[in-house]
Amino acid sequence: MAISRAQMLKELLPGLNALFGMEYKRYGEEHKEIFESESSDRSFEEEVKLSGFSAAPVKGEGEAINYDTAQEAFTSRYSHETIALGFSITEEAVEDNLYDSLSSRYTKALARAMSYTKQVKAANVLNNAFSSSYTGGDGVSLINTAHPLVSGGTNSNRPTTAADLNETSLENAVINIAGWTDERDLLIAAKPKKLIIPPALQFVATRLLETEGRLATADNDISAVVANGVVPQGYSINHFLTDTDAWFLTTDCPNGMKMFTRVPLSTKMEGDFDTGNVRYKARERYSFGWSDPLGVYGSPGA
């Protein structure tokens, strides 16, 4: 249905001082703090995790060398969604407007809506990270205590007991990450990069990562978190996280959290010959997800 004069009655009357409601500032592209971005030229993308070899055994004198095998561990698929929205304005509404260009004002609102949708979809990967209803290529949730390995073992990218963000839980997370192994139980040199938090935890994060002394103690101890630089990129607030006490650490493991852009954002407009209405639309195609779950560590909070 087109936007008609009846829906914009006040804009057609003399004496209107201001139009407001669509000039609010908006949050930036916060998904870029979490996801690596790649382009795609297919309807979907698949990424396969491979297993290497196990630790080399001792070869006895005169004995034959042991030959190991490699295999595919699991496959992650990114299915691109088409996100689109539009609006239409009647010819008469355009003709009779006294104050501003309708098209200019509402195309800004259209861009705002498209941007908001992208941020919500990106954050939903973390919002659903603990849910068994949203599984990755290895068959379990993104944040899980038992990511299965080819060797038969598991990796955990969350605390055994859910914990709020504090000095102890952050230190335990760093220790846990340092114990991760590859598919054949060889230790990997994984390290945290950035802390991702909802707005409610911003003051906790500031005290944890920017205070040289330990928190909430009379002892004159230094902050090991700060001194060791265990979170080198600091923290980033994501305003679209829905759990006020969940927190996440991105890591330097490659091919972790990813976004694929199939078709970048584009806008179009056209007039309808019969009605004279002018139609505007915005459209893009993309997908959010993860390949290697070791790209992130998280806790839902206590």
CATH class of the domain defined by 30-51+73-299: alpha beta
Residue type, 79: S
Q: What is the mean pLDDT of the chain?
A: 89
Question: For residue 19, what pLDDT is reported?
Answer: 42
Q: Give per-residue pLDDT as tens, 278-300.
A: 888 999 999 999 999 999 999 99
Let me know: does 243 contact 301? Beta carbons within 8 Å: yes
Let me know: does 43 contact 77? Beta carbons within 8 Å: no
Structure tokens at 81: 């969604």
Burial of 126 (0-12, 13-18, 19+ CB in 10 A): buried
Q: Give per-residue pLDDT as tens, 197-237.
A: 999 999 999 999 999 888 777 777 898 999 999 999 999 99
CA atoms within 13 A on the CB side of 44: 8
**What's the chain look like in SS3?**
CCECHHHHHHHHCCCCCCCCCCCCCCCCCHHHHCCEEEECCCCEEEEEEEECCCCCCCCCCCCCCCCCCCEEEEEEEEECEEEEEEEEECHHHHHHCCCCCHHHHHHHHHHHHHHHHHHHHHHHHHHCCCCCCCECCCCCECCCCCEECCCCCEECCCCCCCCCCCHHHHHHHHHHHHCCECCCCCECCCCEEEEEECHHHHHHHHHHHHCCECCCCCCCCECHHHHCCCCCCCEEECCCCCCCCCEEEEECCCCCEEEEEEEEEEEEEEECCCCCCEEEEEEEEEEEEECCHHHEEEECCC
pTM: 0.88
Q: Give per-residue pLDDT as tens, 6-21.
A: 554 444 444 434 444 5
Distance, CA of 47 to CA of 126 (rounded, Å):
20
Q: Give per-residue pLDDT as tens, 24-42.
A: 688 889 999 999 999 999 9
Average pLDDT over residues 115-120: 96
Question: For residue 15, what pLDDT is reported?
Answer: 45
Question: For residue 143, what pLDDT is reported?
Answer: 98
Query: Which pLDDT band, with edges at 50, 70 and 90, does 105 fall under?
Result: confident
| Closest by Cα among 189, 14, 201 to 98 | 14
Name the one residue in this structure whose structure tokens are 């973390």. 126
Percent of the chain with pLDDT over 90: 72
**C-alpha distances in Å from residue 2, one per residue of 29, 40, 166:** 31, 34, 52
Q: Kindly report the CA angle at 247 between 206 and 33, in degrees rounded to 5? A: 80
> Which range, of 125-139, 146-160, 213-227, averages the lowest pLDDT?
213-227
The values of phi and psi at residue 221, to 5°, are: -85, 145
Task: Reply yes or no on whether the pLDDT at 190 is more than 90.
Answer: yes
For the sheet containing 296-299, what is the strand order?
235-237, 192-197, 247-251, 296-299
